[in-house]
Structure 1
Amino acid sequence: MGFNRPSKIQETALPMMLADPPQNLIAQSQSGTGKTAAFVLAMLSRVNPQDRFPQCLCLSPTFELALQTGRVIEKMGKFCVNIKVAFAIRGNRLPRGTVVEEQIVIGTPGTLLDWCFKLNFLNPKKIKVCVLDEADVMIDKQNFSDQSVRIQRALDPGCQMLLFSATFEEPVLLFAQRIVPEPNVIKLRREELTLNNIRQYYFECENKEDKYKALCNIYGSITVGQAIIFCQTRKNAKWLHWALSNDGHQVSLLSGELSVEERAEVIQKFRDGKDKVLITTNVCARGIDVKQVTIVVNFSLPTMTPWLADYETYLHRIGRAGRFGKKGLAFNMVERHNLPLVHAIQDHFKTTIKCLDPEDMEALEKIDD
């Protein structure tokens, strides 16, 4: 897998996850530090290959993340004879009456709920390990909370619960501690959350055309391995894709409007390096791991309301670059009236986001050094 030694989270979490009797865990760790490999190892170690029924569940917030985790399970599990993975995701329709024999089931909450209760494809009481990946979203009231809690309540009381995320706001953490009995908790201090390996910059822009110009200047001055550009709305993402394609750039677009098959194809082409630039909405902010990504551009800053920055999404977005401690760059395109958002993000993470002049090609080229 390319690990020479365990990362900090792996070193701390693995002994807890592999202990007997099993221990519950709520763990926070920065993006790109090997959380997936850690909980996959825990799942594989609990499976009995002779038993042909689901023994481990992993819940993911998006179809893309479920597929990605499934790939890691397949890669790490190739030396485990007869351990198989099933995907409980939209589009993977099994005939009624199917009995799932794969030992590890990974999926999104809605489909997993159907598999457990409506279609009876699996027996939740036989699950030994249940993982919530990007757990803060999975138990956030506005998102999948009801579905996740319903699945968790159907599990055997002795089932090991493992909750992982890069961010846990206090109310979410308290809620997690209520639903997970006697958990070990690994929590980062706020100052540890800043991704020091990612240099962050912002451009002051008048409008989206101005932002587009700044983006083209980055293109002209910096060696782009692969880049992800985040837009706040599908409409803006569409417009940007059209503008860059018209200028002859090889770019792809990923948004919630696409079908499951189209989304899988876009991600795969980007992974294979066929497309160098991926334009997306927050669909890709979490967990998507493409090692060649060196640059993240926030074409618009993530916000909760027009005046309130979404700190968690900002951290997850820029965390797509600089995986596993590698160097990365984050560029933020900011209208003048949104400058207070930049200052708020700096204060929140106790970090520096430097102002750059998009017309100063010399300064841009120096960043690449």
Structure 2
Amino acid sequence: GPACGGRCGSGAATSFTLTSNFSSAPKCNTGPDGTDHGSWTKEGDRVDLAEQSLLNKLIRRSLVWNRNRVEVLQRDPVSPLFSVKTFEELRLVPELLKGVYSMGFNRPSRIQESALPMMLAQPLQNLIAQSQSGTGKTAAFCLAMLSHVKPANMWPQCLCVSPTYELALQIGQVVEQMGKFCPDVKLAYGVRGNRMERGVKLQEQIVIGTPGTILDWCTKYKLIDPKKISMFVLDEADVMIATQGHRDQSIRIHRLLTKNCQMLLFSATFEDSVWKFAETIVPDANIIRLKREEETLDTIKQFYVVCKDEQEKFTALCNLYASLTIAQAMIFCHTRKMAAWLTTNLSKEGHQVALLSGELTVEQRAAVIERYRNGKEKVLVTTNVCSRGIDVEQVTLVVNFDLPVDMEGNADSETYLHRIGRAGRFGRRGFAVNMVDSQQNRKIKQLDTNNLEEVELLMS
């Protein structure tokens, strides 16, 4: 029988189907966080963590290559540590293995190598895992849920909670693609707008949704019997606890579950607050985390140019661009208003320019990045909404038209490093040029970085 202890049925004779599909998921017209991003202000674009995570899911077509080693801390240190190099070693049912390969996964990613054997082991094991976007964590826990369910049992068995409506639908899409060759496994979306008849028990084995709706379905509407849930997945924990109410709702859901329920928690970062939350939700857990290795910026040459005002910055930028052979450039501005002004003026100079800022929907941002990645525009003007996590191999120049600053107006070294890290990717040489006026000249000295050189550009 399969390594999952027959939870999927009895080998090759079992056939499944997944009746839900992404296009039939409930529609919602409001924004991801339910807030009005408003018009341009003197403040910079806020970086919404949930939107950033969704954007990464939309634009990544393949797994991210990660140099960081995976560190595994086992609940039972004397237990043998298994890792797998192929999906066949997991002894999945053939239909599920076929679904994995149909998605283009040829072999497990680094985090999947260690996490999947733990998630599929008998007896069930709890897991806390750190993994950046694009490393295959969503596919890993979707595979675990599909392997876990008993299709003959027509009630919810796997519960997956995600911070936003859009992120929940992205997870559902992965479940549907991976389970498309499997006939009796059904999926329900526990998200706003998906109205269900009160008191009628769900028959879907997997439920994916947001904390508020899932909590209502378990308590107010009695659609889910939490005592029958045998796997609980909490995704994007760092985003979850940054969203008002989600932390407490997730803890309340957790308290409804039995002690025998398998708990899996994933987070891109592990600040102290995330650790405390994770330990509350996931007792006696195995832990997988990325060993921190500083990303080298040795391949990126850093310069700064002192300018009198915005017009002089713009002149310097045009001269810089004319004097270098550049594959593609990213230009960062502090406000949407400045980004729009710069885009208009660069277009007048004949440059193919794309604009990316916070008033665009996440789907619109993904489309802009796709055009830029495909070379349809050579210059991307953006605010902080694009400062981290977006890899375009061809970028060789990053320009800080405005230096990044924190809430107190001081130089923001972390954002600066995230911005310039967009250049010189994958070992290529890159350039970072900072445009500073007399007020910002002092701030650039505050940046936690080495090798900054002042240069003069002709202002003709």
TM-score with structure 1 length normalisation? Answer: 0.67
Could you say if the C-alpha distance between residues 269 and 13 of structure 1 is closer, same or farther in structure 2, counting changes exceeding 3 Å? same
Could you say if the C-alpha distance between residues 151 and 3 of structure 1 is closer, same or farther in structure 2, counting changes exceeding 3 Å? same
Paired position in structure 1 for 2:258: 156
Paired position in structure 2 for 1:166: 268
Q: Deviations over 1:288-323 (max 9, x none)?
A: xx8867659696648475448485x78988999999
Alpha-carbon separation, structure 1, partners of 2:335 and 2:225: 40
Say whether the 8 Å CA contact 1:85–1:102 is kept in structure 2.
Answer: yes
Secondary structure at the aligned position of 2:105 is classed as coil
Counterparts of residues 134-213 of structure 1 (less than 5 Å) = 134-140=236-242, 144-190=246-292, 192=293, 194-195=294-295, 204=304
Displacement of 1:66 in angstroms is 3.0
Residue of structure 2 aligned with 1:94, choices 194, 209, 219: 194
Paired position in structure 2 for 1:38: 140
Displacement of 1:171 in angstroms is 4.0
Q: Is 2:107 aligned against 1:16?
A: no
Structure richer in helix, relative to its length: 1
Say whether the 8 Å CA contact 1:140–1:172 is kept in structure 2.
Answer: no
TM-score with structure 2 length normalisation? Answer: 0.56
Alpha-carbon separation, structure 2, partners of 1:137 and 1:14: 23
Q: Is 2:163 aligned against 1:61?
A: yes
Displacement of 1:145 in angstroms is 1.9
Displacement of 1:97 in angstroms is 1.1
Counterparts of residues 97-108 of structure 1 (less than 5 Å) = 97=197, 100-108=202-210
Residue of structure 2 aligned with 1:223, choices 323, 327, 332: 327
Paired position in structure 2 for 1:349: none
Amino acid at match of 1:86: A
Say whether the 8 Å CA contact 1:228–1:293 is kept in structure 2.
Answer: no
Count how many residue pairs are aligned between Structure 1 and Structure 2.
339
Displacement of 1:172 in angstroms is 2.4
Q: Is 2:439 aligned against 1:339?
A: no
Counterparts of residues 226-237 of structure 1 (less than 5 Å) = none
Secondary structure at the aligned position of 2:254 is classed as helix
Could you say if the C-alpha distance between residues 146 and 82 of structure 1 is closer, same or farther in structure 2, counting changes exceeding 3 Å? same
Say whether the 8 Å CA contact 2:127–2:263 is kept in structure 1.
Answer: yes
Q: Deviations over 1:3-61 (max 9, x none)?
A: 34322211111111111122111112344322222222112211223334433233333
Paired position in structure 2 for 1:363: none
Paired position in structure 1 for 2:108: 6
Alpha-carbon separation, structure 2, partners of 1:171 and 1:45: 31
Larger Rg: 2
Amino acid at match of 1:339: I
The percentage of aligned residue pairs carrying the same residue is 50
Gaps of 5+ in 2: 1-102
Structure richer in strand, relative to its length: 1
- The CA RMSD measured in Å over matched residues stands at 4.7
Alpha-carbon separation, structure 2, partners of 1:4 and 1:222: 35
Could you say if the C-alpha distance between residues 50 and 327 of structure 1 is closer, same or farther in structure 2, counting changes exceeding 3 Å? farther
Gaps of 5+ in 1: 347-351, 361-369
